[in-house]
Structure 1
Amino acid sequence: MRIIAVLILVVPGVIAAYGIKLMRDALFNELTAVFLHIGLQFFIGFILFAAGIGFIGGFIVHRDRKRQAVKKQIHANKR
Structure 2
Amino acid sequence: MKVVISRFVAILILVIPGIIACYGFLQMKTATFDYLAEFGNDSVIPDFNWIPFIIGFILFVIGIGFIGGWIFFRDRKHNYVAPRFKKKRPRPNV
Please indicate the TM-score interval, normalised by the length of the shorter structure: 0.7 to 0.9
Gaps of 5+ in 2: 1-5, 36-47, 85-94
Measured after TM superposition, the shift of residue 42 of structure 1 is 0.3
What is the CA distance between 1:71 and its match in structure 2?
2.7
For normalisation by structure 1, the TM-score amounts to: 0.75
The 5 A counterparts of 1:1-79 are 1-29=6-34, 38-73=49-84
Identify unmatched segments of 5+ residues in structure 1: 31-36, 74-79
Percent identity over the alignment?
A: 52
Deviations along 1:18-67, one digit per CA (max 9) or x if unpaired, are 0011011101228xxxxxx7111101100100110000000000111111
TM-score, with structure 2 as normaliser: 0.64
Could you list the runs of 4 or more consecutive aligned residues of structure 1 that deviate by over 4 angstroms after TM superposition? none
Q: Distance in 1 between matches of 2:75 and 2:10?
A: 13
Please, what is the CA RMSD of the aligned residues?
Answer: 1.7
Number of residue pairs aligned between Structure 1 and Structure 2: 67
